[in-house]
Chain A
Amino acid sequence: MARVYNWQIGRETSYWYPGSRPKKQFAAVFDINKCIACQTCTLACKTTWTSGKGQEYMLWNNVESKPFGYYPLGWDVRLLDKLGAQRWEGGRYAGSTVFEAAPAGERVLGWGPEDQDYAYPNVGEDDCAGGVTKGAATRIPHDMMWFFYLARICNHCTYPACLASCPRGSIYKRPEDGIVLVDQTRCRGYRECVRACPYKKVFYNALTGTSEKCIACYPKFEKGLSQQCFLNCIGKIRVAGFLSTPKEAREDNPVDYMVHVRKIALPLFPQFGLEPNVYYIPPIHVPEPFLVQMFGPGAPAAVAAYRALPKDKDLSALLTLMGSTERVLSRFRRAGGSVEGYDESGTEVIRVPVTEPAHVRAAIDVAQGVVRSNIT
């Protein structure tokens, strides 16, 4: 195994291949606080890419309720259990990654789901953690019961375990944008990638005998357009872009700003060691130990920054840009009461007010002869 640097865990780690970062890396930020689990994203993906025979149970995009929702069943807890203690020393991960913990004869520490593990994509939906006791029901907000929605796609990891595990080299990471693809002409359906991906985002097509995964809607992304699950997101929780390395981070790049500069968006299970490239703004109502396990030691600071948003002009401006345009934004700028988004060529493609103008209307609509009712 080679040694590579993984900034998310603050140290070098082992990887099957020598490290070579793509020229540009597709990345995304999902604001968990805004997701309503409407599954529009899931359907947008399903109708675009996986409506074929043999793809019936495949969800390249899925949304699960945490802590009790999983697709496939137990995808995260089963690996967390295998991985053992996951200790952080400040920003440095002191435990083992899935590459470092690979048993003899394996390239990656993984496990293979059974058929039925894919049979309950909505298991645990809206199930709460904990019970409400000691009169907590009379107080709002109370901090005893919680759940949140976790929308998931392939993370187009910098060090993909799927790619490392394939003995045929059928999986590749595109140098131009870091998108990870299974070569459908080369795959022979061994399912090493299914076993190895900690996020369980490669799926076996039993009718074509090959493994398939999220392609980050590359035909759109190549044209500067966002992915289908981003465009159709009802909660406007998603934004796509190119992420720089921490040293090269640009303050005016939306994803760089949230991930590197303000550190409000965090990777999912950074301790697995893959440097995943979908970043989450953690839910602010969830107990800290759970968030730290899921998003790493940066979670408490990210929650604090989110809670301070009303006073944070730049960050709140940027968050209003999320989901406002299909174009991929490479730069943003706050100007007065508005925020502007620019594409790669420097052209302004979107401008939105940071605070939506309020309209107060009379209680009775005289022209129509009706009484208006408040629907919020």
Chain B
Amino acid sequence: MVGHKIQILFSPAETGIALRLAIGKKPEDIIAQVKESKLRGRGGAGFPTGLKWELVQQAKGERKFVVCNADEGEPGTFKDRILLTDHPCKIFEGMAICGYAVGAQNGVVYLRAEYRYLREGLVNAIKKMKESNYLGKNIMGSGFNFDIEIHLGAGAYVCGEETALLESLEGKRGEARNKPPYPTECGYMGCPTVVNNVETFCYVPAIMTKGAQWFSEIGTMESTGSKLFSISGDVAKPGVYELAMGSTVDVVLQLVGAKDTKAVQVGGASGICVAEKDFNKPISFESLPPGGSIIVFNKSRDMLYVLKNFMEFFVEESCGQCTPCREGTYRLLQGVEMMEQGRCSIHYLHTLRDLAQTMLISSKCGLGQLAPNPFLSIIDNFKGEILARDRVARNSKKTPVVR
């Protein structure tokens, strides 16, 4: 099964069938079914979806909310755009089933500002579903009410982090919150809130109609089902591919027609750079964590430049709230610039590695915790290439080696 193209998300499915099945069941049974499918969040962290829903269902609160994270900002990721464009009803159906299961009547889609042109299509889809009584009041005569609104972001990558997203939804600066409490307990406006990725919600209708067992038999032990991969860079056929979890890097490269591949960045800027020796590794939560993004670099590419581009990204997108990330991303970028000029000694490189470790354990949110990923993995994989760079300013006394 592994490595083959499969279709769960991209297969046509009539809207409403899964929802009708779901509201004929007890909320506990839906949650049990999602748990049994072993579906894990597709937004990056891979948290078990059924468990998240159960926490919200059991949390005390007058109101509860279902939030769909459509802030897709990770460099190299565009899979959610395809779902938002072609399969909005699957997303909304998944959200409604979630609402019924956890006891929420309101859903919000947090759509990144860069996708503003998708809003109209989404609003129309909601309207249509309301007309068919798949959303709105007394859904299909069950007494269950569920409404969805679209909330536009305003251009900030960090707002994809779930607590920063909630701050932004409340009309504040998108700065990550301290955790705990987690959103499942204290989310939007202090109410228990489910935050799931677009893709995560999309699997739910299929799990309802085809069953948890069917879903859990696809993929690997710890990573069930399929996964959408946004593939870009030096490949013949870039695009979004739906593959079984556990597909190896090799298989993916073959599928998209990549030649002379030097490295693959799995999981976007926050992900890990994989060199040729590891192309046989599977992409799954057990091995190479599957973000949505796969960026392929061929042998002509300068990996230090790639790293610089990623570090610039983090410097710009850090919210600046905590010091390890605000200062750390900047120092790592500076280090890369020194390496570029051949002015970074191995001693200083070790200091930067220590800094990266510090960021990993002391940053407040995932942005600062993950920013060292490309730094460490690119340096480790291509140390020789990096250390052997031409000293650009060899004759200039103004540019001493930094120790």
A and B: partners? no
Chain B residues with CB under 8 Å of chain A are none
